[in-house]
Amino acid sequence: MSVIEGGAGQGAGQGIGPDSDAVDTRRTADPPAATEELLYGVIRRLWPLHRTIVRAVERELEGTGMTAGEHALLDALRTHGPRTVPQLARSLGLDRQPVQRWVNHAADLGLVVTAPNPAHRRSSLIRLTDEGTEVMRGIQDAEAAELRRGLADLSPGEVRTALRVLDRLGEEFRHLADGSRVPPEESGNPEMPDAADQEAAQAAIPPAQGHRPPVPARPADRPTQTEGPAA
């Protein structure tokens, strides 16, 4: 991968300044090196951006009993529908253990329940309750309003380009991390099932019994901030 192997000589250790004309000049003189440097700029921004988003989401969730990781979990269920714990873990890029803890705590809050899985009787599906759907709708309506207000200068085309770049970076770094290259047509789609999902089993969660107010999580069940992304 050129962004890793070739960057040490040309672009590593060099930040990308705010002078867009300087960047354009470098691209004209040496397009491969300029692209490499820009990719390093994207990569360097990802971790601090992730941490900033987590802090913002945690502040938004104060008083709900939810964590940023559980927000990401419920967002995945609202977006893609019922999923097994292994499927959720894969889509979030995490191990199953923290995802199972989030599922357990969300069940305690009455936000998710288990449902039979037609594809595998030992691996239950996790789905949102009506209460969980309403909670996420309220949170995401507020988030969408804030995004419209704060990022109104971004066009749909710019956002689509950002998504494509992030999908391609994710594809390449998954290859570097585990040695399995994802076909281009599958990049950006971590929800595709595989054989491992059909073989995975998980502990069942008792169905929710009507409305229950949020309850504090036990210390052992609360994930640390480093265990998951924000939505």
Tens-place pLDDT, residues 139-159: 999 999 999 999 999 999 999
Q: Any idea what DSSP says for residue 154? A: S
**Alpha helices by DSSP H, the chain:** 2-5, 7-10, 20-29, 31-60, 68-80, 85-92, 96-108, 130-150, 156-178, 195-199
Query: Given this model, what pLDDT does residue 181 score?
Result: 54
Locate 231 and state its tokens.
């939505």
Average of per-residue pLDDT across 14-20: 42
- Asked if residues 64 and 214 have their Cβ atoms less than 8 Å apart, the reply is yes
Helix axes 96-108, 85-92, angle to 10 degrees: 120
**Sign of the dihedral through C-alpha 31, 32, 34, 38:** positive
Q: How far apart, in Å, are the Cα atoms of 93 and each of 62, 89, 216?
A: 25, 6, 26
Q: What is the mean pLDDT of residues 16-40?
A: 62
pLDDT at residue 209, rounded to an integer:
44
Q: How many angstroms separate the first and last alpha carbons of the chain?
A: 28
14-18, 176-180, 209-213 — most confident range: 176-180
- Both tokens of residue 115? 């449902």
H or E segment to which residue 112 belongs? strand 112-115
Please give the Cα distance from 68 to 177 (Å, whole number).
Answer: 25
Tell me: the pLDDT tens digits for 85-133? 999 999 999 999 999 999 999 999 999 999 999 888 888 999 999 999 9
Least confident of 34-38, 159-163, 189-193: 189-193
The dihedral built from the CA positions of residue 152, 156, 158 and 162, taken in this order, carries a sign that is positive
